[in-house]
Structure 1
Amino acid sequence: MTSPQVFDCIVIGAGAAGLMCAATAGQRGRRVLVLDHANKVGKKILMSGGGRCNFTNLYMEPDNYLSANPHFCKSALSRYTQYDFLELVSRYNLAYHDKGAGELFCDDKAKDILNILLAECETGDVVIQTDTAITAITKQDDQQFVIDTPLGEYRSHSLVVATGGLSIPKMGATGFGYKVARQFGLKVKDTEPALVPFTLSDAWLTVAQELAGVSMDISVSCRQQTFNEALLFTHRGLSGPAILQISNYWYSSDEISIDFLPSQSVAELVEQWKTSGEKATLRTLLGYYLPKRFVMTWLGLISADLGDKLAKQLSHQELEKLTQFFHHWTIKPSGTEGYRTAEVTRGGVDTDGISSKTFEAKTTPNLYFVGEVLDVTGWLGGFNFQWAWSSGWCAGQYV
């Protein structure tokens, strides 16, 4: 029988957090092995940001994260900041740009970020092994972790779980990390797809399908949270950055409220048009502010002939309906598109059982959890990658 290979630290998961942790630990002189069941590393990095990887955000705050314990993320985010990661990428002369709102993207391709992480791992002499399924994990009396795989047995002093969440299963996502957490006595918060499009049903689905491809800047609210970004109608329902953002806060019985014209007041516009004796129809006038297809459909939902009316012909009741439909459209989505298209997973390993300084499990010495597997979910815009860098780096100081 082949004797087991022994390392100081084994990291399960070759994604953003796992590679960051491995590189950090390796450069501290630790002998590190990274195991991943997928056929190649960093798959989620490669497909993120439309292939350009929104790798961090200049305007990073703890308020950009959801967790049952909103304070948990503060320590890591303050010890390894967005500027620390920028210092790393600048050492590799990465060309990047700010797409707006502090969202930093690669000028070229997401693989540039992955290559930096792999180069950092190489500097730390990290061993990376893909196509390795883990069949069992045990902790011996001598405190070593034993990892059983079809390729043999591996042992280590420290074990890091960086397996991510359930999002995008075609990329290899599984609930393995939650299973390990439960095995070692940790609680797992309920998981849900997050940063995910909404689905609609019945008549509203028909409307969405008619408008599929139409996009506009909106304001959307749910549970006292509001985002001002773009909405996109799809053949399944509603998408776009604003919808993905609010989905982090949405639960299945919730309604969302949308203002399609957040920078203007329909009532004030109508009053202006009346005063100036505007001869153009309502459909034409609103078409200056919103996509024409949307205007025609939305006015038609109020009444068939509304779009052909002049401002001065509107009744008080019609004006009230206009205001309601354009500024306070409220709908209960039938659901989301699920983990298939969700960018992240809300919920995960309960942070009450994890040290916010070291990321070590309080129940099990030398067992660590980093990245998306934890109950920490960031907004759209580079926040989840920064959580991977921060949590991975912090754990890498201790493993």
Structure 2
Amino acid sequence: MSKAWDAIVVGGGAAGLFCAGVAGQLGKKVLVLDHAPVLGEKIRISGGGRCNFTNVHSSPANFLSLNPHFVKSALARYPSKEFIKLVTAHGINYHEKHQGQLFCDDSAKQIIEMLFSECAKGKVTIRNPVSVQAIAHEGEHWLLHTSEGAEKTKTVVMATGGLPVPAIGATAYSLDIAKQFGLEVVEPRPALVPLSFTAETFGNLNELAGLSVPVRIASGSKGHRYGACRFNEDLLLTHKGLSGPAVLQASSYWVEGEPIHIDWLGAIERPGGFNCDELFNNEENHLKLTETILASVLPQRLAKAFAEQRNLMGRKWAEVSKKDRQALKELITNWSVKPAGTLGWKKAEVMLGGVDTKELDGQTMMSRKLPGLYFIGECVDVTGHLGGHNFQWAWASGYACAQAL
């Protein structure tokens, strides 16, 4: 066994590599261990291969946690503008997409290379593939038993991420270690994940698959674990159910057995605004077919599906009673439907739940019960909205931890 390390970071993903690089440059002797043959795979596949590495508007309001205040300290000390400075210093060109999301112009691999470069500056030792078989606390030190022997360290940083994308080696190891040492864990479940529907609930999915529609979506409620949400985003109809940014956002708040609510006209952008009442009450439409009127604001296939659902296909607007018009309007502007479930960990982008924040110091990410044991990134009960916020949490929590080290 070599001389004790100042810190061993278990997990060489976004949070782990960033934390190690910062701590190394602050003069700490740091070792990173990871079981994967290739590091940074989740970064590489993110954002369609271009990595949505942060969001210019990232703030505590963009995160879900049982303690919504927990993120404030770390985000304030390392806001998105600081990471943008680092990206710029490494000569990585980027662009802003929808709602403040920043992506690499070229490739997500540039972010991985940048993290390796920062680790190299801090003389960080990286070993992979190496599996950590056991972690024990002995006096003032921690002992890690690995597939390549034992390592002693003053501090351990758990940064193994969450359960999404098992195909690239995702595990619940950080949560297992938390439980081993008596720390509370908020039950994990898939987040930012498509929702599935039964044929009875939504029988014409196959006909509508591939349609993308801007909607306003609502999910959850004030009494639930993470409260309620409302988003204006694009929704994608698929063969299995609903996906797209709107549904991924709503999935983090959705509770099994409860409905989500969709206003199919709520996110329409038109010069001078869009007036739903005008559409349904305009008598100039009286000779037009119902599906034709709906197709003026919705994709034709969707307009037809809604008209069919209310048995109004082929009927002129003048033939539709006020009661039926109102029912159609309610169907389209407040469509309430119960998902059968999510598409699970294989399709989830992040994990909801994790190490309970009440167990950790929000300024340092260290366990309150066990000095020297830290948890950062996705394994903590902090989950960001879609759009670069989860990466920002990786950088901010990693930075807070590195400063404490």
Once the two structures are superposed, residues 108-161 of structure 1 have per-residue CA deviations (whole angstroms, 9 ceiling, x without a partner) of 1111111111110110011111111111111112x2111111211111111100
Matched, 1:270 2:268: no
Shift of 1:280: 3.3
Describe the SS at the equivalent of 1:251.
coil
Q: Aligned runs of 1:180-259 on 2, under 5 Å?
A: 180-222=177-219, 223=221, 224-259=228-263
Per-residue deviation, 1:39: 1.1
Q: Which moved more, 1:74-83 or 1:143-152?
A: 143-152
Q: Which AA in structure 1 matches 2:295? A: G
Q: Is the 8 A contact 1:266 1:322 kept in 2?
A: no
Please give the alpha-carbon distance, in whole angstroms, between the structure 1 residues aligned to 2:237 and 2:117: 41
Unaligned runs of 5+ residues in structure 1 are none
Among residues 317, 326, 329, which one is paired with 2:323 in the alignment? 317
The CA distance in 2 between the partners of 1:356 and 1:377, in whole Å, is 15
Please say if 1:156 is aligned against 2:153: yes
Contact 2:201-2:338 at 8 Å conserved across structures: no
Aligned to 2:288: 280
Where does 1:297-316 land on structure 2 (aligned, <5 Å)? 297-303=305-311, 306-316=312-322
The corresponding residue for 1:289 is: 297
| Aligned position for 2:225 | none
Q: Cα distance 1:302–1:5, how it changes in 2: closer, same or farther (>3 A)?
A: farther
TM-score, with length taken from structure 2: 0.94
SS at match of 1:109: coil
Alpha-carbon separation, structure 2, partners of 1:12 and 1:277 = 65
Report if aligned partners of 1:205, 1:236 keep a CA contact under 8 Å in 2. Answer: no
Q: CA deviation at 1:277?
A: 5.3
- Is structure 2 residue 81 aligned with structure 1 residue 83? yes
Give 1:296 deviation, angstroms.
1.0
> Structure 1 length normalisation: TM-score?
0.95
Partner of 1:49: 47
Query: Which residue of 1 is the match for residue 133 of structure 2?
Result: 135
Return the alpha-carbon distance in structure 1 between the equivalents of residues 319 and 376 of structure 2. Answer: 61
Paired residue for 1:362, among 358, 364, 368?
368
Overall identity of the aligned pairs, in % = 43
CA distance in 1 between counterparts of 2:84 and 2:147 reads 39
Look up the SS of the partner of 1:101 in the other structure: helix
Q: Compute the RMSD of aligned alpha carbons.
A: 1.3
Aligned to 1:175: 172
Distance 1:277 1:343 in 2: 44
CA contact (8 A) 2:55 2:100 kept: yes
CA distance in 1 between partners of 2:114 and 2:82 (Å): 14
Distance 1:174 1:115 in 2: 24
How far off is 1:267 after superposition? Answer: 3.8
Count of matched residue pairs: 392
1:242-273 Cα deviation digits (max 9, x unpaired)? 0000111111122111000114454421322x
- Distance, in Å, in 1 between the alignment partners of 2:170 and 2:106 is 26
Deviations 1:278-307 (A, max 9, x none): 64322223222111111111211111xx23
Cα deviation code 1:355-392 (max 9, x no counterpart): 10111111111111000100001000100000000000
Q: CA deviation at 1:4?
A: 4.1
- 1:375 matched to which residue of 2? 381
The 3 A distance-change label for structure 1 pair 318 and 71 is same
The letter of the residue matching 1:327 is T
Displacement after TM superposition at 1:5 (Å): 5.7
Q: Which amino acid aligns with 2:310?
A: I
Aligned equivalents of 1:323, 1:205: Cα separation in 2: 18
**1:270–1:311 CA contact under 8 A, matched in 2:** no
* SS of match in other structure, 1:358: coil
**Distance verdict in 2 for CA 1:265–1:329, change over 3 Å:** farther
Contact 1:73 1:356 in 2 (8 A): yes
Q: Which runs of 5 or more structure 2 residues have no equivalent in the other structure?
A: 222-227, 269-273
Partner residue in 1 for 2:101: 103
